Amino acid sequence: MTDKASRRTIFYQGMRDGIPIALGYFAVSFTLGIQAKKVGISVFWATVMSLTNNTSAGEFAAMTLIGVGAPYLEMAVTQLVVNIRYLLMSCALSQKLDAKTPFFHRFILAFDVTDEIFGISIAYNGKLDPFYTYGAMLVSIPGWALGTCLGVIFGNILPAGVVSALSVALYGMFLAIIIPPAKKEKTIALVVVISMLCSYLFSILPVVKELSSGIRIIILTVALALLAAVLFPVSEATLSGETGEKSSDSEVLSHGK
């Protein structure tokens, strides 16, 4: 199988894995579109905003600040705090990439580091092939923008119960990302459960509950990742085995086509 054919197969695999994310994005961004209309943002600019900014919490925060006429500096600081967790995700993805990955690939990948894209990219067996993430981006970004667009246009027409039900899709999307690797690795399942418990405790305990959600996520991510790395280290041999397994899977898919 040629390198070009292999990359095409990996790209299609990314598109396939990105479909559930796109559906979840569509449902969630629909409510974002409703919020955009409430603060007076047009269909065009709301859609452009979602095409260039794939961050639900960041966009919701921005629209809230736009609605109250907040200054640019306040908006910038708010976005930094809300989205600072992506710094950690980007660092993790940089370690997932091959050391020889060109800068322009890293630059493009950095554009769409979201919770969900990060989830499937970091779960990729072996070193991450940028074309896998590109495939997921190709379907997820339009899904997010389309949901925002239609939310602005039709949001006020749908019953409130229907709009509220759409947001449930986001949780289903996260389950779709978490469950498959958790079924294969009991360690991952344990870390997920501990993460959920700690996240709940951080939302009710004094002092820490006053922190922004972005800061809480960073604290938990660093602490739990460090704990898991110490208690359940992954050997280089295991990573090498995963790379070989991924190559075999790609060849099977290619021959199947």
Distances (CA, A) of 27 to 7, 32, 66, 171, 185: 30, 9, 23, 11, 30
Q: Give the separation between CA 232 and CA 242, rounded to whole angstroms.
A: 17
Q: Give the separation between CA 64 and CA 194, rounded to whole angstroms.
A: 33
Q: Give the separation between CA 217 and CA 94, rounded to whole angstroms.
A: 19
**DSSP string of 197-234, one letter each residue:** HHHHHHHHSTTGGGS-HHHHHHHHHHHHHHHHHHHS--
Which pLDDT belongs to residue 168?
67
Residue written as token pair 């940028």: 130
Q: Give the separation between CA 64 and CA 58, rounded to whole angstroms.
A: 10
In a 3-state reduction of DSSP, which class is residue 128?
strand
pTM: 0.69
Cβ-Cβ contacts under 8 Å for 220 (sequence gap 6 or more): 195, 198, 199, 202
Cβ-Cβ contacts under 8 Å for 38 (sequence gap 6 or more): 67
Contact 126, 239 (CB under 8 A): yes
Q: How far is CA 185 from the centre of its chain?
A: 21
Q: What is the pLDDT along the chain (257 residues), one digit of tens a residue?
A: 457 778 899 999 999 999 989 988 888 888 888 888 888 899 999 999 999 988 887 888 888 888 888 888 888 887 887 788 888 889 989 999 998 999 999 999 999 999 889 989 998 888 999 999 999 999 999 999 999 999 999 877 777 777 667 666 656 666 776 787 788 888 888 988 998 899 899 989 998 888 876 678 778 878 888 888 888 887 655 554 454 444 444 443 333 43
Residue written as token pair 């990996």: 10
**Alpha-carbon dihedral of residues 143, 49, 86, 27, nearest 10 degrees?**
-30
Which pLDDT belongs to residue 67?
84
**Alpha-carbon dihedral of residues 54, 56, 58, 59, nearest 10 degrees?**
80
DSSP H helices, 42-128, are 43-52, 56-67, 72-83, 85-96, 103-111, 115-122
Residue written as token pair 């119960």: 161
Which pLDDT belongs to residue 243?
46
Contact 97, 125 (CB under 8 A): no
Q: Give the separation between CA 176 and CA 23, rounded to whole angstroms.
A: 12
Give the length of the chain: 257
Which pLDDT belongs to residue 53?
86
Instruction: Kindly list the domain boundaries of the chain, sorted by start residue.
Output: 3-256
Residue written as token pair 């989205």: 83
